[in-house]
Amino acid sequence: MQSYPSNGRIQQVFLLDRCCRSFLYRYIIAKELHNSSASANAITPKIKNRGELFVNKLDLSDIKDRLLPKMLTLQAQQNGSGEFLITDERRLTFAEAEQEANIIASGLRALGVSKGDRVSFYLDDAVNIVLIALAANKIGAVWVPINTDYKGAWLAETLERSRSKVLITETALQERVLDVASSLKDERRVVIGAESDITLPDAITFDALRDHAPLVPDYSDMHYGDTCAVLWTSGTTGKSKGVLQSHNAWVRPVESSSYYKTREGDVIYNVLPLYNSGAWITAVFRALYEGIPVVLEKRFSVTTFWDRVRHFGATQTFTLGAMHIFLWNAPAQPNDKDHPLRIAQMIPMPEALLKPFSERFDVELLPMGYGQSEAMVIGSTANAIGKVPFSSLGLPLDDMELALLDDDNQPVPVGEVGEICIRCLKPHIIFNGYFDDESATASAYTGDWYHTGDLGRLDGNGAYWFVDRKRDALRYAGRNLSTMEVEMVVRKHPDVKDVAAFGVPSKEVESESELKINVVLKPDAKVTYEAMAKFINDNAPYYFVPQYMEFVETLPYTPNNKVQKFRLRELGITPQTWSLKQSEYKVKR
């Protein structure tokens, strides 16, 4: 194990003066005595403000330090014994993570990976996902997470379009990779697991990859604007696009997250998947920046959420979409307040639930925000508390300009709806373009203005509000879903003549929609709703299986033979509509 001397680069940020701390500690002790008999089974005591109030936040004012792998090196040097990555199976300190990443980087280099090459991973192993990503960046390579819900043709196309030098998977997922092995081309294959369990041809074990001396990192030829990751979007108007993320595109949002009020003893609890950019900026890279631990949960569970928070002693979390609505709708429990979680950002949180949710679970809710994969933080209410409504998109950060433009790229008046567009005032604050798609990159811009594809309006007080998505997509459970891509899958069924996928209002979250498909079948077709659901489940990510389905005689078309989806949305759920929740079909993940 390497040792890392301190050189004082950590900022010691004290959040309260001595008098306030004294009062706070008395309050903690009193509250502990009050709660001592409330939950004898709690795994960790409920101390929501324990510890000296400072954080191990990195000083990244020098742009040479704004590199993800160098941030790990700096934390290892100055906070080496501090815990970083936590799961049920593993707990790694920053020093241990640095050592592991350097070993993996050395192994990747031995496989021929060099600067600019892509390393894909198709994994559920969260700790190794983080280590592999940082290891790839240590040699200037680019990491590409592959959604583990992908399979069949969907997985094959994503792997082929990624054009990776190395693909890393695990024994539990290798059969899916084996099914599409013809798409792997010349990629080197690495499998996490016992050598005797590997069935993927020409694959080596992860242990063999790690059988190298640690790399000595050299960051001298790296730039904070270099592309370090490709994240595949769920698609909006066509095929998924690979978003090219620079180091600084990741660093910028975590550097602006001071509203989490991080202090010593804080632990982040992450329930988002690591193929989603939200997991990295709200949890993994924020933990790396602030020098605190992050718990990498395998998946979100309503029934175990609070028990798991107690188990890990987690004090911070981030939820997306309907996650927190599901928590709210769960039956009230006597120990709803008996947990260490003290602060949470839950987007979007309905205005009417702000106070009730906070009071029921005794947690401080953070302001809302707005971003997307291409521009991870666009607006925030955190920098305008008391000036704009909590549930608005807030105000843009000071390193960009926002404009609401019409279809002729002209500004719309206050109160009217326009597309949210961005002009960057500093370099490398949004994405570097789309991978292998110069046309899509060019069409996303008009001059210096990046078009988000989202519609918004500006109120008389200067606050921005989200209105709708301009592109053909819907959002459910925090996931953007392309209706066009759903239709592409359904059309492959031999009994389908035509199909339209669209959203119907979600009962849980007003700003989200549930998926419905209206299907026109070929004459004499015998397919059932359950059989159609199974076909979709077998050929696409599980969340492509619609919540609602209806076999119809025809679809409403325009004179140009385009489906009028607004008419379908107006019809919504009819007496003839099949409901997944009310059927006997069970979706397989």
> What CATH number is associated with residue 209?
3.40.50.980
Winning range, highest mean pLDDT, from 111-125, 381-395, 496-510: 111-125
| Rg (alpha carbons) of the chain, rounded to whole number | 25
User: Among residues 340, 366, 392, which one ends one of the domains?
Assistant: 366
Do 159 and 127 share a structural domain? yes
Do 483 and 570 share a structural domain? yes
Do 211 and 124 share a structural domain? yes
- pLDDT band, residue 384 (cuts 50/70/90): low
| Domain at 571, CATH number | 3.30.300.30
Residue 530, pLDDT > 50, answer: yes
Residue 382, pLDDT > 80, answer: no
Predicted pLDDT of residue 357: 97
Q: Is residue 185 part of a domain?
A: yes
Residue 48, pLDDT > 60, answer: no
Higher pLDDT, 51 or 242: 242
Predicted pLDDT of residue 47: 35
User: Among residues 156, 186, 221, which one ends one of the domains?
Assistant: 221
Q: Which two tokens stand for residue 333?
A: 């429990």
- pLDDT band, residue 55 (cuts 50/70/90): confident
Q: Is residue 491 part of a domain?
A: yes
- pLDDT mean over 503-529: 89
- pLDDT band, residue 475 (cuts 50/70/90): confident
The answer to whether the bond into 348 is cis (omega within 30° of 0) is: yes
Among 214-223, 362-371, 382-391, the minimum mean pLDDT is found in: 382-391
Q: Which two tokens stand for residue 519?
A: 């299907």
Residue 28, pLDDT > 60, answer: no
Q: Provide DSSP, 185-248.
A: TT-EEEEES-GGG--STTEEEHHHHT-SPPP----TT--TTSEEEEEE---SSSS--EEEEEHH
What does the pLDDT look like over 246-264, one tens digit per residue? 999 999 999 988 889 899 9
Residue 169, pLDDT > 90, answer: yes
Do 465 and 347 share a structural domain? no
- pLDDT band, residue 21 (cuts 50/70/90): very low
Residue 24, pLDDT > 70, answer: no
Predicted pLDDT of residue 483: 81
What does the pLDDT look like over 414-466, one tens digit per residue? 988 889 999 999 999 999 999 999 999 999 999 999 999 888 889 988 888 88
Do 281 and 334 share a structural domain? yes
What does the pLDDT look like over 198-248, one tens digit per residue? 999 999 999 999 999 999 999 999 999 999 999 998 653 346 799 999 999
Predicted pLDDT of residue 123: 96
Distance CA 310, CA 322 (A): 22
Residue 98, pLDDT > 70, answer: yes
Do 416 and 479 share a structural domain? no
- pLDDT mean over 530-538: 97
Predicted pLDDT of residue 18: 27
Predicted pLDDT of residue 397: 86
Predicted pLDDT of residue 234: 64
Nearest to 298 by CA among 277, 279, 324: 279
Do 436 and 513 share a structural domain? no
Nearest to 297 by CA among 132, 46, 88, 144: 88
Burial class, 221, CB count within 10 angstroms (exposed 0-12 / middle 13-18 / buried 19+): exposed
Q: Is residue 588 part of a domain?
A: no
Predicted pLDDT of residue 465: 86
For 407-416, the CB contacts below 8 A with 24+ separation are 409/446, 409/449, 412/457, 414/458, 414/459, 414/460, 415/457, 415/458, 415/459, 415/460, 416/457
Do 197 and 251 share a structural domain? no
Do 254 and 297 share a structural domain? yes
Residue 497, pLDDT > 70, answer: yes
What does the pLDDT look like over 314-366, one tens digit per residue? 999 999 877 898 899 899 999 999 999 999 999 888 888 899 999 999 999 99
Q: Is residue 84 part of a domain?
A: no
Q: Is residue 573 part of a domain?
A: yes
Q: Is residue 82 part of a domain?
A: no
Q: In what order do the strands lie in the sheet with 379-380?
A: 369-370, 379-380, 395-396
What does the pLDDT look like over 543-574, one tens digit per residue? 999 999 999 999 987 544 568 787 898 899 99
Higher pLDDT, 139 or 45: 139
Do 343 and 321 share a structural domain? yes
Predicted pLDDT of residue 383: 66
Domain that holds residue 426: 379-469
Q: What mean pLDDT value characterizes the chain?
A: 86
Residue 3, pLDDT > 60, answer: no
C-alpha dihedral, 230 to 235 to 236 to 242, nearest 10°: 20
DSSP class of 394: B
What's the total number of domains in the chain? Answer: 4
Name the percent of the chain lying above pLDDT 70: 87
Do 496 and 464 share a structural domain? no
Do 58 and 134 share a structural domain? no
Residue 490, pLDDT > 60, answer: yes
Q: Is residue 88 part of a domain?
A: no
Predicted pLDDT of residue 394: 80
> What is the enclosing helix (H) or strand (E) of 253?
helix 247-255
Residues 6+ apart with CB under 8 A from 429: 248, 249, 252, 375, 399, 400
User: Among residues 309, 331, 366, which one ends one of the domains?
Assistant: 366
Q: Is residue 371 part of a domain?
A: no
- pLDDT band, residue 472 (cuts 50/70/90): low
Predicted pLDDT of residue 348: 84
| Domain at 389, CATH number | 2.30.38.10
